[in-house]
């Protein structure tokens, strides 16, 4: 483990997002032997931790990789560092967790970020804009108890920016929407209101929408590489390749991530239920028990569709997300139960080998 003392102004634990929620998890013994550190970057076999007054490169030993994905540290997590042993003592309970189904490991979860307060869901006012995709991100945020804010970038490149705002508003009437030019710092005052000291904000969205550009403009500095301006709208190339956390002047912690191609929601039942609470309420009002709310004449949802109070695209996406959520919740539960059985079996084998030795 290597420690580098920060020469710049040293952030306090509070500046890094520490609060009573984490403090009260420490035992008396841990208070003596450990120091808290926040995960600022995750490498293949180690973590970059920010401690009060020091940065630390901490290796992740093999035992961590035997744990289920959810129990391994991810970016934004708080861990306790055993100072004498110079190793990670344990992971602290999270205030929030953003996760999705893994693209590379089917059936497995992938953690996006931990202890996030606000999600900036970044989308641009051009052909990238997609309401059904935005609903996926909002489901994720609602499920994790994270405040979602929609940031519409590239307002300077279209005459129709208000129409993008209006369309976004159909997702939920109480949605916070910010229309910006990510390159123009003056247009970001609405976003600055969210950038409170110690507040963690995860910027998520497709590649090329301007996440890193926003971070640079909010930080007032070039902290992240952005796509070459001449290459503004090319698809399929990711400029940001690793997740990283940035403490910006003014106090917030901004989390940059590579653009996501696919966002398959995981076991996010409460997220789906709250994003589509109006449709759920209509389903409960439907006079038919056992109604699939598809084509039955007199069905409450069908009536709402016909009188225009429910939008067809939105209803279709609700159905799709609900099916996906039910399927993935089962997959995740099955995997958990397999893991538990496996751990039990390993324990039994170890115990019986000890018995034979005794």
Residues engaged in binding Mg ion (CB under 5 A):
211-212, 239-240
CB of 234 to ligand GTP, least distance (A): 9
Among residues 13, 286, 310, 332, the one that binds Zn ion under rule CB under 5 A: 286
Closest CA to 19 of 239, 232, 253, 283: 253
Task: Determine, following the binding rule CB under 6 A, whether residue 227 of this chain makes contact with ligand GTP.
Answer: yes
Residue 165 makes contact with ligand GTP by CB under 6 A? no
**CA 272, CA 280: separation in Å to the nearest integer?**
10
* Partner touching 68 among Zn ion, ligand GTP, Mg ion, none, CB below 5 to 8 Å by kind: none
Residues pairing with 53 in the sheet: none
* Nearer residue to Mg ion within complex by CB, 172 or 211: 211
| 74 vs 240 by CB, closer to Mg ion | 240
By a kind-dependent CB cut-off of 5 to 8 A, residue 291 interacts, out of ligand GTP, Zn ion, Mg ion, none, with Zn ion
Residues 299-328 that bind Zn ion (CB under 5 A): 299
Give yes or no for a contact between 202 and 120, defined as CB atoms under 8 angstroms apart: yes
Report the residue from 168, 240, 317, 328 that binds ligand GTP according to the rule CB under 6 A.
240
- Out of 67, 83, 103, 157, name the contact with ligand GTP by CB under 6 A: 157
Among 48, 96, 115, 213, binds ligand GTP (CB under 6 A): 213
| Residue 135 CB contacts under 8 Å (≥ 6 apart), including other chains | 171, 275, 314, 317, 321
Sheet of 87-91, strand order: 2-5, 54-59, 46-51, 34-42, 78-82, 87-91
Residue 327 is inside which H or E element, if any? Answer: helix 312-357
Q: Which residue, 96 or 212, is less far from ligand GTP as judged by CB?
A: 212
Helix or strand (DSSP H, E) at 317: helix 312-357
Compute the distance between CA of residue 217 and CA of residue 192 in angstroms, rounded to an integer.
Answer: 10
Is 41 or 291 the residue whose CB approaches Zn ion more closely?
291
Residue closer to ligand GTP, measured from CB, 91 or 182: 182
Say whether residue 207 binds ligand GTP (CB under 6 A): yes
Distance CA 212, CA 244 (A): 11
Measured in whole angstroms, how far is the alpha carbon of residue 62 from the centre of its chain? 25
Interface pick for ligand GTP out of 96, 118, 181, 200 (rule CB under 6 A): 181
Residue 84 binding: pick among Zn ion, ligand GTP, Mg ion, none (C-beta 5-8 Å cut-off by kind): none
**Phi, psi dihedrals of residue 117, rounded to the nearest 5°:** -95, -40
Whether the CA torsion 43, 49, 50, 55 is positive or negative: it is negative
| Neighbouring-strand partners of residue 113 | 98
By CB under 6 A, name the binding residues for ligand GTP: 153-154, 156-157, 181-183, 207-213, 226-227, 229, 232, 238-240, 258-259
By CB under 5 A, name the binding residues for Zn ion: 286, 291, 293, 299
């Amino acid at each position: 483990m290597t420690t580098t003392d920060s020469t710049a102004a040293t952030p306090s634990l509070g500046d890094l997002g520490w609060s009573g929620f984490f403090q009260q998890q420490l035992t008396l013994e841990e208070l003596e032997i450990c120091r808290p550190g926040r995960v600022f970057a995750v490498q293949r076999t180690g973590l970059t931790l920010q401690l009060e007054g020091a940065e630390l490169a901490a290796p992740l030993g093999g035992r961590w990789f035997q744990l289920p994905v959810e129990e391994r540290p991810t970016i934004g997590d708080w861990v306790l560092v055993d100072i004498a042993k110079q190793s990670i003592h344990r992971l602290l309970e999270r205030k929030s967790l953003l996760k999705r189904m893994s693209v590379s490991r089917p059936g497995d979860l992938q953690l996006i970020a931990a202890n996030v307060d606000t999600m900036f869901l970044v989308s641009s006012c051009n052909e990238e804009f997609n309401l059904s995709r935005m609903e996926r991100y909002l489901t994720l945020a609602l499920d994790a108890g994270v405040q979602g804010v929609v940031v519409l970038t590239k307002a300077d490149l279209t005459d129709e920016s208000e129409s993008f705002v209006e369309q976004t508003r159909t997702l939920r009437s109480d949605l916070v929407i910010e229309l910006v030019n990510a390159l123009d710092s003056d247009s970001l005052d609405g976003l600055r209101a969210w950038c409170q000291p110690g507040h963690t904000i995860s910027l998520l969205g497709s590649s090329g929408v301007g996440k890193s550009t926003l971070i640079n403009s909010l930080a007032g500095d070039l902290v992240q590489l952005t796509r070459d301006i001449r290459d503004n709208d090319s698809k399929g190339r990711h400029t940001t390749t690793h997740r990283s956390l940035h403490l910006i002047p003014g106090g917030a912690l901004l989390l940059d991530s590579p653009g996501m191609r696919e966002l398959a929601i995981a076991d996010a039942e409460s997220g789906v239920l709250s994003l589509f609470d109006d449709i759920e309420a209509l389903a409960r009002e439907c006079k038919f028990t056992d109604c699939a709310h598809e084509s039955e004449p007199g069905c409450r949802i069908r009536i709402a569709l016909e009188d225009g109070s429910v939008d067809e695209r939105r209803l279709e996406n609700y159905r799709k997300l609900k099916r996906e959520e039910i399927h993935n919740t089962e997959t995740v539960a099955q995997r958990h139960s397999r893991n538990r059985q496996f751990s039990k079996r390993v324990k039994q084998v170890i115990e019986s080998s000890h018995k034979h030795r005794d």
